[in-house]
């Protein structure tokens, strides 16, 4: 199976989205499972919409996902070039061969003539009108006369009579009546090949053995098989997988509903989670496990086992899988992944020495269960890493503005400033002892303290948070919170509601 050669051929007219990524993944898995080759070919002939920015983003996102290619841009290979815009000279000999064999012919019909003939049919028939083959049997004299009129010609593929059938690796046996197809234009008037012709030639030149793509290409397949055979080549194995749908029931595409891979990356998702989830959208392992790495998926993957049913992308399931991958990482690796986010936000600057690195790992370990994506760390890390803290107005009005909040914080400040050490165990003893002393529950005592430290009503474990912030920052933040209790005013608290009530 080492001769297996698969490809993906994205267009750099937009960023890499989920549907194309799933196709790339299934091709990559097929190649790796068989010890074959995964080829990246860029279909950039739409020069008006193709950009180098999109091309570089596609390459970067594929590499980030771990989907490396054996041949293609920036890698090279023996069957390049791998940008379709650089392959134009390869197509003319194939078109000429089809003309010589009578499998294609020149068509001199103008667009106006084609439109007139279409409109001359009834409204219903016009919608389904196919090219009527007017130029299919022109004599040499007729062709010469048309050329003398100054007409340019396109080249049309002559669809043979009968049927075209093949066994799809996913869909099973498929058969098309050739009568439903018209004689497709395969070369424009300027000699450039059209999509279906270029795809066939590129696949022949690159010795592609398996074409794995979305079912939206299924109607292109019989046309392409006809061309393969007319050129004297055996078609590859085709596998058409159901399309990926959004929760609104619409097909995901770069123009409708699909979030780009780059955007998920910016949101703090892990490449392992994205690949893991996309693999499950149409395939399932025999183990029934949901959390699988690329190596594990590759060991079980078989394209023929892909489902024929459509798959619906569920962002909540992706988020859950991402959270599981976050939990799988040990603290040093999780810290490595989080650091770029912290640097991007300006929360970490320069290199970390051993002591500062160890401190940051302790912070990451503390917020472990609360972090579902890499960017979730910003929900908590900022108040550990910033010298000061911003206060949520709702937290101020609901907690710091209540009667007694300032007194509680003042008492806590005194006890914490006198604590012999600032470790979690000692701090827990100090705070619980103070709560018993003033006759309140530890929870009520810690409520204003939490807002003082984090600026909001939620935070990781209180005693560990105190210890990691350190005595100086804790006391400074308590001072500021005490000032807020005075400026907020007791009148903002609901009548009869007090932190000092048991």
Q: Hey, which residues are catalytic here?
A: 254
H or E element that contains 478: helix 471-488
Asked if 277 and 317 count as a contact pair (C-beta separation under 8 A), the reply is yes
Which tokens go with 177? 């009546």
**What is the maximum alpha-carbon separation in the chain?**
111
Using DSSP's 3-state secondary structure scheme, residue 30 falls into helix
Neighbours of 302 (CB within 10 A): 12
Q: Quote the tokens at residue 229.
A: 């055979």
3-state SS assignment for residue 198: helix
For residue 81, cis peptide bond before it (omega within 30 degrees of 0):
yes
Cα separation, 481 vs 410, in Å, equals 10
Q: Residue 222 and residue 372: Cα distance in Å, rounded? A: 46
- Give burial (CB, 10 Å; 0-12/13-18/19+) of 355: exposed
Q: How many other β-carbons are positioned within 10 Å of the β-carbon of residue 353?
A: 9
CA-nearest of 444, 369, 368 to 408 is 444
Q: Tell me which residue has tokens 């002393």.
A: 437
What count of other Cβ atoms lies within 10 Å of the Cβ of residue 155?
Answer: 23
């Amino acid at each position: 199976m080492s001769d297996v050669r698969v490809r993906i051929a994205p267009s750099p007219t937009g960023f890499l989205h989920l549907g194309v990524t799933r196709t790339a993944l299934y091709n990559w898995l097929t190649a790796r499972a068989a010890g074959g080759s995964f080829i990246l070919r860029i279909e950039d002939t739409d020069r008006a919409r193709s950009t180098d920015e999109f091309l570089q983003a596609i390459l970067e996102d594929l590499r980030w996902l771990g989907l490396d290619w054996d041949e293609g841009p920036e890698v090279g290979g023996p069957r390049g070039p791998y940008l379709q815009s650089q392959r134009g000279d390869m197509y003319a000999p194939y078109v000429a061969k089809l003309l010589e064999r009578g499998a294609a012919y020149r068509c001199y019909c103008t667009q106006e003539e084609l439109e007139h003939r279409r409109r001359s049919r009834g409204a219903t028939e016009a919608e389904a009108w196919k090219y009527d083959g007017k130029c299919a049997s022109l004599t040499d004299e007729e062709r010469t006369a048309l050329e003398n009129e100054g007409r340019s010609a396109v080249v049309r593929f002559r669809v043979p009579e009968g049927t075209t059938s093949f066994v799809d690796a996913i869909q099973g046996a498929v058969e098309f009546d050739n009568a439903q197809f018209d004689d497709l234009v395969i070369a424009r008037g300027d000699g450039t090949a059209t999509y279906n012709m270029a795809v066939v030639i590129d696949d022949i030149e690159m010795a592609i053995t398996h074409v794995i793509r979305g079912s939206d290409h299924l109607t292109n397949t019989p046309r392409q098989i006809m061309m393969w055979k007319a050129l004297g080549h055996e078609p590859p194995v085709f596998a058409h997988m159901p399309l990926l749908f959004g929760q609104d029931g619409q097909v995901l595409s770069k123009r409708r509903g699909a979030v780009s891979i780059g955007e998920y990356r910016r949101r703090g998702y892990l490449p392992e989670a994205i690949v893991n989830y996309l693999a499950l959208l149409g395939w399932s392992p025999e183990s029934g496990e949901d959390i699988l790495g690329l190596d594990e998926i590759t060991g079980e993957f078989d394209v023929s086992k892909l489902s024929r049913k459509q798959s619906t992308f569920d962002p909540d399931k992706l988020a859950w899988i991402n959270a599981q991958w976050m939990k799988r990482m040990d603290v040093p690796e999780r810290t490595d992944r989080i650091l770029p986010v912290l640097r991007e936000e300006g929360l970490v600057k320069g290199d970390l020495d051993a002591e500062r690195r160890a401190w940051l790992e302790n912070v990451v370990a503390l917020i472990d269960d609360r972090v579902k994506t890499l960017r979730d760390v910003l929900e908590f890390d900022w108040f550990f890493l910033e010298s000061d803290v911003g206060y949520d107005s709702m937290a101020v009005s609901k907690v710091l503005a209540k009667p007694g909040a300032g007194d509680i914080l003042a008492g806590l400040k005194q006890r914490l400033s006198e604590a012999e050490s600032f470790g979690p165990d000692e701090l827990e003893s100090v705070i619980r002892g103070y709560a018993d002393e003033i006759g309140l529950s530890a929870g009520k005592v810690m409520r204003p303290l939490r807002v003082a430290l984090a600026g909001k009503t939620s935070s990781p474990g209180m005693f560990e948070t105190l210890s990691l912030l350190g005595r100086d920052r804790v006391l400074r933040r308590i001072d500021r919170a005490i000032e807020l209790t005075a400026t907020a005013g007791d009148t903002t608290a609901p009548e009869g509601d007090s932190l000092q009530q048991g």
